[in-house]
Amino acid sequence: MKLIVGLGNPGKEYANTRHNVGFRVVDLLGRRWNIEMLSEKFHAWFGSGNAGGERVVMLKPTTFMNRSGQAVMAAGKFYQLELADLLVVCDDVALEPGRLRIRKQGSAGGHNGLADIIQRLGNDAWCRLRIGIGDAPGAVRSSHVLGRFEADEVEMMDRAVCRAADAVETWLREGADAAMNRFNVDPAE
C-alpha cells in the first residue's frame, strides 16, 4: 500500500493558491484513478482505491499546512506504513515556477508542512515531490504563497500539476529513482 499526501490549506479562500498545488495534484490523481476524496479521516480528506494494481490511500490534510504531520502520522500508524511507501506533494518557493523535484529524503527546506511531518515522524527518509512556485523577492512570503497565480502563470502551472501527477504515477509503477530521473529536469528539455 502507498500513501500519497498533497499539502495545502482547507477552505475555499485557499483554493487555487500557490500553497495548494499539492491538493491540486491529489485531486487530479483522484479523477484519473476514480478515487473520491469526500470522507474525513485522519484529520484529512481521505480516499482509497487502486492505481495500476497498487492499493493507494490519498490524503489532503484539513489541519492547515503547518500541522500537516498530524494527518500523515495518524494514517501512517493506522496502516503500519513503511516510510518508503509515503510520498508527499507540496509547493516550493526555491524552485522556479513549474519545475519539479523529487527526493527520497531530505530537510524541510523552509517548508513548514514538511517540517511538521519530519518532526512528527522523527525521520526524513520518505519521498517528497516539490512543485516550484517561485519566490517574490521583496514581498512578504506568506502573501506570495497564499496568493493566486498571475494570469501568465496559470497555464504553465496547470501543466506542472499534470506533470506532477505523471511523476506520482511513475513513482508508483517504477519507483523513486525512475521518477527522479524522468522528472527532475527542466520542463523545457
Radius of gyration of the chain (CA): 15
d(CA 59, CA 87): 11
Displacement of CA 101 from its chain's centroid (Å): 11
Q: So which residues are the catalytic ones? A: 19
- Measure the N-to-C terminal CA separation of the chain; round to a whole number of Å: 33
Sign of CA dihedral 121, 124, 130, 132: positive
14, 91 in Cβ contact below 8 A? no
Cα separation, 7 vs 170, whole angstroms: 19
